[in-house]
Amino acid sequence: MDRPLRRLALAAFLLAALPLAHADKAVTPTAATATQGGYQLPPAPLQALVDAPRPPAVSLSPHRDLLALTQTPALPGIDLVAQPELKLAGVRINPRTYAQSRFSFGSDLWLLDIASGKDIRLTGLPQPLSIASSVWSPDQKYIAFNQVNAMAGTNELWIVDVAARSARRLTSQPLNTVSGRGYAWMPDSQQLLVQLRPQGQGDAPVGNGIPTGPNTQETKAGGGVKSIPTYQDLLHSEDDARVFAHYLTAQTALVDLQGKVTPVGEPTMTLAVRPSPDGQYLLRQRVERPFSYVVPVENFPRRIEVIDLAGKLVKEMAHQPLIEGLPTGNDAVRTGVRQIDWRADAPATLVWAEAQDGGDPAKAADIRDLVLMQSAPFSQQPTTLARLSSRYAGAYWGNGDVALIEEFWWKSRKIKEWRVAPDHPEQSAKLMHEGTSEDRYNDPGTPATRPDERGQSRLMFTADGTSIFRLGDGASPEGDRPFVDKVNLASGQATRLFRSEAPYYEEAQALLDTEGARLLTSRETPDEPTNFYVRTTAAKSAPVALTHFAHPTPQLRGVKKEQIRYKRKDGVELTATLYLPPNYNPKKDGPRPMLMWAYPAEFKSADSAGQVTGSPYRFNRISYWGAQAFLAMGYTVLDNFSVPIVGEGKKEPNDTYVPQLVASAEAAVDEVVRRGVADRNRIAVGGHSYGAFMTANLLAHTRLFKAGIARSGAYNRTLTPFGFQAEERNYWQAKDVYMTMSPFNYAGDIKDALLMIHGEQDNNSGTFPIQSERLYAAIKGLGGTARLVMLPNEAHAYRARESIMQMLAESNAWLEKYVKNAPAAPKAPAATK
């Protein structure tokens, strides 16, 4: 899938759009005020946000003449979210379906013909439809999809016959999707490579609950300093290990279009298996004992092997040991074979990286990574394709003469892109781009790719082979203006084929021909939702609409959105998106209560930190998840206000985290008060995860806000001693930083009302539920004002409809009590001459 389409598909699952008219009259909240009680409902305008329809996910066919659209259903109920779930080795497993626990499933599937713009409906789809994933066959004749019904305990493989416009189940033997998608098309489109539940496997082992002895761990001196993140859902006993091994064990098999199953080797604890582009070999990664109680399955011992279609071992590429921690630093990696995959433009050639500095960024080294290749029959020594001064970050494969290799170094944020000739590795690499990951203004864009006849993603070339294409966000001081460029490979000169123009935000999703003459784009405005179009780049005429998704609720057309710019006192330029409710006139109606929402980000450059993000022309998609929801309740909203934490040169950003955080908040508050859209005495601040950490710190170190809403945060950094967010140093290397940044240490200084919401089953590294529990207890014990809401069966992001309703009810009641009904700021005296 093209990069923008992948982003849209994700957004379709995460965002719920519902415009609602603002009511000036206060709405009595229905949230519970008692500590205990059943699930509560927020006021009707907020309920409507939760139940609003969401846009479908979109997938472009290999021949680029059809779209597959998958409808996102309503949020699941708590009855589904509360289904049995195993938390083992960093994986959450539904034991009934032998699948990873997930709750975003497609509830409808249909096709759209790009030439005519007509929908194509399908027959034979299972009911109720519950699509976990779907993939086009390389020849476009079929779509395979994974039907998972958690309530029925089924996990099935289905295919759609595109010509017949009908669907059917391919095999009755259930899939195992505990690791990965569980199926992939073979290059000939006649078979699928699948992971099945082994026949006769039996039920999972059940312990009797009687310990056979203590669970012990031991470390030995001399192993060096290792960073071990605070992982969740780890194994705790041998009983856990046996259960995990049972659910991870799968039978690799080939399934043809008639449903015939041909096993490939014996069942193994398989992490991943991928066919070579010519379909003659399989690259398999499987887990071995011993397991670990301190790291997840990704760090367990594994064998990386090439096998044939009968399951016979052809070549062992690596036997990786258990990795319980890496050297300190975000640029640290494991030694040996890393990021191994097939070269997309060759029949059967493997490409991988190997660190040359022991994986330790603290060691001096001119060459950090080698990029190596080895071709079937894998008997020759590997060939060196590239020598990199930083870490290998992936490749785009075109043909034997052109591939693009990317490298990245986190410490400096430096990125490089090289052109290499894979069939002639002796030729010198050519530098195509050099910059930093923070510099959005000078980002040349992502190389455009498309699947070849074998389903492999390859660079798109012009017909004469002299140029490639790039699709970019087009960040600029006036906001994002997506573009498409044609780039000459010899000279590097870029010819702009398309750039989004006001008053639209239009983004190229894919090129429909080899010259960039026709594009599939998505287009939107603040009042018009995203729809898909076909645009001719040479013509000045308007693009032709393919879809006609209606505005989810026309009442929100009156919301005003403005991208605003202002400065921090140290001169750093800041950006935010200001939203005003419908029918609100600041000059006539005066300042309103405001909710501000943000997520801090670290930078190595003040110039990059000050770059504009976002676009004033994006659709006002009001989600239940963010601060914009409270536009429906009459609040003004400052969303995504910049909180850059800058550490230029050898300085570390977090060494001055608190003063930079406070300065950013002060600048934002001063700006919205200056504009007359916020009452200085009635402003709340909020955020999720690292934004919650920010919120608690702002309440601890300022009196700028009457209240805070902190969701699923971490507040005591000694509980994440081996780094957090972008912090590379461990606690023992930067004790003062960890202590100063922890709002838990300043709980007695939190004088304004803090609402904390947390999922009881938070699976995010670092944001254990105990973080909220301990901060709440500290504030309570020190006489502060706080409320703690723990959501049953919820992880880091909340899933159940009941949980989301409760989140909104609690937030609304908190804002009503401590912000909307707080005394307004006195009016400034009239100016005198």
Q: Is residue 658 one of the residues assigned to a domain?
A: yes
Comparing CA positions, the residue from 399, 352, 351, 349 lying closest to residue 377 is 349
Q: Is residue 683 one of the residues assigned to a domain?
A: yes
Q: What is the CATH number of the domain that holds 579?
A: 3.40.50.1820
Q: Is the pTM of this model over 0.95?
A: no
Kindly compute the dihedral angle of the four CA atoms of residues 310, 313, 315, 318, in this order, to the nearest 10 degrees: 120
Asked if residue 30 has pLDDT above 80, the reply is no
Provide the 3-class DSSP secondary structure of residue 664.
helix
For the stretch 60-98, pLDDT in tens is 999 999 999 999 888 999 999 999 999 999 999 999 999
Q: Is residue 587 one of the residues assigned to a domain?
A: yes
Asked if residue 4 has pLDDT above 70, the reply is no
Query: What is the reported pLDDT for 27?
Result: 33
Following DSSP, what letter does each residue of 480-525 receive, concatenated? ---EEEEEETTT--EEEEEE--TT-EEEEEEESSTTS-EEEEEEEE
Q: How far apart are CA 728 and CA 744, in angstroms?
A: 21
Query: Average pLDDT for residues 530-552, to the nearest whole number?
Result: 92
Question: Rg for the chain (alpha carbons), in Å?
Answer: 27
Q: Is residue 335 one of the residues assigned to a domain?
A: no
Query: Which among 322, 342, 360 is the end of a domain?
Result: 322
Query: Average pLDDT for residues 547-560, to the nearest whole number?
Result: 84
Query: What is the reported pLDDT for 221?
Result: 76
Query: Average pLDDT for residues 542-554, to the nearest whole number?
Result: 89
Query: Which among 273, 292, 322 is the end of a domain?
Result: 322
Asked if residue 1 has pLDDT above 90, the reply is no
pLDDT band at 18 (very low <50, low <70, confident <90, very high): very low
Query: What is the reported pLDDT for 812?
Result: 98
**How many domains would you assign to the chain?**
2
Provide the 3-class DSSP secondary structure of residue 601.
strand
Q: Which structural domain, as residue segments, surrounds residue 673?
A: 554-820
Query: Average pLDDT for residues 628-640, to the nearest whole number?
Result: 96
8 A C-beta contact, residue 369 and residue 390: yes
Q: Is residue 368 one of the residues assigned to a domain?
A: no
pLDDT band at 213 (very low <50, low <70, confident <90, very high): confident
Q: Please state the three-class secondary structure of 311-367 as a single string.
A: CCEEEEEEEECCCCCECCCCCCCCCCCEEEEECCCCCCEEEEEEECCCCCCCCCCCC
Query: What is the reported pLDDT for 827?
Result: 67
The full length of the chain comes to: 833
Q: Annotated catalytic sites, by residue? A: 689, 762, 796
On average, the pLDDT of the chain sits at 92
Q: Is residue 84 one of the residues assigned to a domain?
A: yes
For the stretch 774-824, pLDDT in tens is 999 999 999 999 999 999 999 999 999 999 999 999 999 999 999 999 888
Q: Is residue 64 one of the residues assigned to a domain?
A: yes
For the stretch 448-460, pLDDT in tens is 999 999 999 999 9
Provide the 3-class DSSP secondary structure of residue 687.
strand
Query: Which among 322, 347, 376 is the end of a domain?
Result: 322
Asked if residue 155 has pLDDT above 90, the reply is yes
Q: What is the CATH number of the domain that holds 89?
A: 2.130.10
8 A C-beta contact, residue 435 and residue 442: yes
Query: What is the reported pLDDT for 2?
Result: 52
Q: Is residue 240 one of the residues assigned to a domain?
A: yes
Query: What is the reported pLDDT for 158?
Result: 98
